[in-house]
Amino acid sequence: MSAQDEEAAKSASDANYPSTFRKRFSKQWLLGKQLTELDDWGLSKDRDQPTPTLYRLNWSINWHTKATLQAQRWYTVIKVVEVSAAASIPVLIAAGGDSFVTKVWIAGLGALVVVLEGIEQLKKYAQNALLWGQGKESLKREYYLYKGRVAPYDSPDKHANEKTLGLSGRTDNWTGGDEVGSTT
């Protein structure tokens, strides 16, 4: 390969970098597409012939995992930018708060802090991350109770156990109750 060919290949790879970065960022950071394409994910290897109930349970656990991760990431990014902008305001005031340009920067950073806090309050990333994480752990708990044949999945009838698993909307941690349909 000649030096000219190597330079052409390098410039082609450099020109492709933004789209490669964007794809990697979108796939690994934003997770939006992955959250909508859950049907493409395979089941765990420990299940030979999964039933629709176990498939749906696995799907839900995967969704809660990805949604929790995405909410945590957005919360972290918003807070880091918000704190950085808020911390730079006093520095700009001390450095040269009398010039017009500095005043514009200070006002812009102040507005950025307010907008980011508003977005975080509207989207509730921190609360959603906690709720989705709790939901994932509750689903995993139900799965392990089912696999261990512990009550309410201790019936000798496998289909009755799967029906119970499919209907178990037990949300002890979410509703504050102990049973399905609890009104407490």
- Please give the chain's pLDDT, 184 residues, in tens: 555 555 555 555 555 556 776 666 666 666 666 665 554 444 455 554 567 888 888 888 888 988 998 999 999 999 999 999 999 999 999 988 788 999 999 999 999 999 999 999 999 999 999 999 999 888 888 888 888 888 777 877 767 667 666 655 554 444 444 444 444 4
What is the C-alpha separation between 134 and 140, in angstroms, rounded?
10
The pTM for the full model equals 0.64
pLDDT at 184: 41
At position 132, the amino acid (one-letter code) is W
**CA distances (Å), 51 to each of 48, 112, 141, 158, in order?**
10, 50, 18, 11
What is the C-alpha separation between 65 and 67, in angstroms, rounded?
6
What is the C-alpha separation between 70 and 21, in angstroms, rounded?
18
pLDDT at 11: 53
What is the C-alpha separation between 152 and 165, in angstroms, rounded?
9
pLDDT at 42: 45
